[in-house]
Amino acid sequence: MAKTKIKWLSHAGFQITSERGKILYIDPWFESPLSAFSLNDVQEATMVLVTHDHFDHVGQAADVVKKTGGLLVANVETARRLQSDSHIPAEKVCYFGYGMNIGGNLLYEGISVNMTQAFHSTATGAPCGYIIRLEDGATIYHAGDTGIFDSMKTFGELYKIDVALLPIGSVFTMDPFQAARAAKMISPKKVIPMHYKTFPILVQDPKEFVDLARREAPGVEVVVLNPGQQHVYTK
């Protein structure tokens, strides 16, 4: 049976390893106070995805691209800023150096990436999330930093999401109640909470989300990870 490895690096950062060994980084901010990962631990990357241009999300994305030769995936303005500031070759930025935008699809080395909307702020471009379909069909939704919105239900209907990575920390994103409702709307097989505990002003404990999600979306399995811990999803 095909297995996908999903490692929470802390905050909104994840390392995803497909059954065929492709490695994706999403929002690789290794300087998080909770981070159990560093740039030295990065050996290879197929893609590096950035949800928006805030320091705690763009993080070390450019460094990972330059170290590994992985493809940078980001919105147009953020991609261009990173390309210019960090001297990333155009061929290492999706769509010939242009980046992409909400609603767009990228097919790269057998992996499909759809950029979705997210409701937040950003220094450049527009915030986004990603729906990633791996080679074996395993489908992962990283919501990015966002509030809840009705189209999450449509995402679930269109893409039959296996694992949803949802922020629960409040202040800058959904709080536990909204995130639990989002899990109900998306209806994935599993949900992994993120974007909490990193800063004192964020929700510190995922227990409220776990309890609410079990009530609001009883058919969805909640998987709580510690920074550096990995979940193996079997398709």
Cβ(8)–Cβ(225) below 8 Å: yes
Q: What is the rounded CA–CA span in Å between residue 63 and residue 53?
A: 15
Task: Provide, rounded to the nearest whole percent, the portion of the chain with pLDDT above 70.
Answer: 100
Determine the pLDDT at residue 91: 96
- pTM attached to this predicted model: 0.98
- Please write the tens of the pLDDT for every residue from 163-177: 999 999 999 999 999
Determine the pLDDT at residue 28: 98
Q: How far is CA 12 from CA 19, 57, 121, 154, 191, in A?
A: 22, 7, 15, 23, 14
Domain boundaries, the chain: 3-224
Q: How far is CA 235 from CA 13, 18, 159, 174, in A?
A: 22, 11, 15, 28
Give mean pLDDT, residues 88-100. 96
What stretch of H or E contains 51?
none
Q: What is the rounded CA–CA span in Å between residue 15 and residue 84?
A: 25
Q: Which CATH class is domain 3-224?
A: alpha beta
